[in-house]
Amino acid sequence: MTTFLGAVLAILGGVLAAVCGGVGSAIAVGRVGRAAAGVVTEDPSKFGKVLILQILPGTQGLYGFLIAFLLFNQIGLISGDIAALQAIEPLKGLMYLCACLPMAIGGFVSAIHQGNAAIAGVGIVAKKPEESGKAIIFAAMVETYAVLALLISILAVFGIK
C-alpha cells in the first residue's frame, strides 16, 4: 500500500488540476451561455459573436486537462508502467501535487471571473455589435492569469525529475 503513496499523491494532483479547471470552466461557460442565449433570442445573427465570448472561459478546463495529461504521461500512468508508479517516493508525489495546485486554483478562480467579464461582454455585443472585439479583449485579460498558472505548473511538472 505504502509503495503507491507517491503515485497516489501525484495522481491526486493531476486530478485536482483537471477537475478544478473543468468545473470552473463549466460554470463560467454555462453562465455566459445563458446570457448569450438571451441576446440570440433578440437577434440570431449575433450568434457567432457571442459564441466566441462563450468559448473564452472554456480554456481553463483545457489547461487543467493538459497539466493532468502531462503529469500522467511523465509518471507512467498513461503507458500503465506499474514499476515506474511504484518508484515514486511519497515526497516526490507530494511535489507533483504541489506543482498542480497553481493550475487547479488559478484555473478555477480565473475561469469564473473570466466568465463574468465575458457576460458583461455579451452586453456589449447586444448593444454595439461592432465593438465585439473589445468585449473579447476584456474577457481575455483575465485569461492571462490562467496562462501564467498553466505555465508555472508546466515548468514545475517538467522540473521534478
Partner 1 sequence: MAKLKMKYLEIIVPVDESKRIFDYLQHRSVIELKKHDETEGLYALNSGRTPAQLEKFCDVANDALGILNKYVPESKGLISSFFSEPEELTEKEFNERAEKADSVLALCYEICELERKAAESLTAAAKHNALRDGLEPWLNLDLPLNFRGTDSSSVFIGTLPSDFSEEALKTALAEKLEDGIPAVEVISHSKERSCIFAACHSSEKDNVFGALRELGFAYAAESESGIPAEKSREFEAATLSCKAEADESRNKIISLAERREDIRFACDYFAMRKEKYESLNLISSTQNVILIEGYVIENKVDNLVKNLEKNFNAAVTVSSTEDDEDAPTAFENKPFAAAVESITAMYSMPGKNDVDPNPVMSIFYYLLFGIMLSDAGYGLLMALGCGFAKFKLKPKGKMKKTVDMYFWCGLATIFWGALFGSWFGDLPNVIATRFLGREPLSVALWFEPVQDPMKLLLFSFLFGIIHLFAGVGISFYQMWKQGSKLGAVCDCIPVYMLIIGICPLAVGIMKPDAAIPPIVKTIGTYLLAAGAILIVLTAGRSSKNIIGKLGLGLYGLYNAASGWLGDILSYSRLLALGLCTGVIATVINTLGTIPENPTVRLILFIPVFIFGHIVNMAINLIGTYVHTNRLQYVEFFGKFYEGGGRSFTPLAANTKFFKFKED
- 131 and 78 Cβ atoms separated by less than 8 Å: no
Q: Is 143 in the site for partner 1 (CB under 8 A)?
A: yes
Q: Is 96 in the site for partner 1 (CB under 8 A)?
A: no
Residue 43 DSSP symbol: -
Q: Which of residues 3-32 bind partner 1 (CB under 8 A)?
A: none
The Cα diameter of the chain in Å comes to: 61
Q: Reduced to 3 states, what is the DSSP secondary structure of residue 160?
A: coil
- 8 and 95 Cβ atoms separated by less than 8 Å: no
Q: Is 119 in the site for partner 1 (CB under 8 A)?
A: no
Q: Is 62 in the site for partner 1 (CB under 8 A)?
A: yes
Q: Is 58 in the site for partner 1 (CB under 8 A)?
A: yes
In the complex, minimum distance from the CB of residue 136 to partner 1, in angstroms, rounded to a whole number: 6
Distance between CA atoms of 88 and 92, rounded to whole angstroms?
A: 6
6 vs 108 by CB, closer to partner 1: 108
84 vs 147 by CB, closer to partner 1: 147
- Set of cell numbers at residue 118: 465575458
Which of 50, 63, 97, 117 is the binder for partner 1 (CB under 8 A)? 63
1 vs 80 by CB, closer to partner 1: 80
- 20 and 104 Cβ atoms separated by less than 8 Å: yes
CA dihedral 53, 59, 60, 63 (to 10 degrees): -170
User: Rule CB under 8 A: which residues touch partner 1?
Assistant: 52, 55-56, 58-59, 62-63, 65-66, 69-70, 78, 133-134, 136-137, 140-141, 143-144, 147-148, 150-151, 154-155, 158
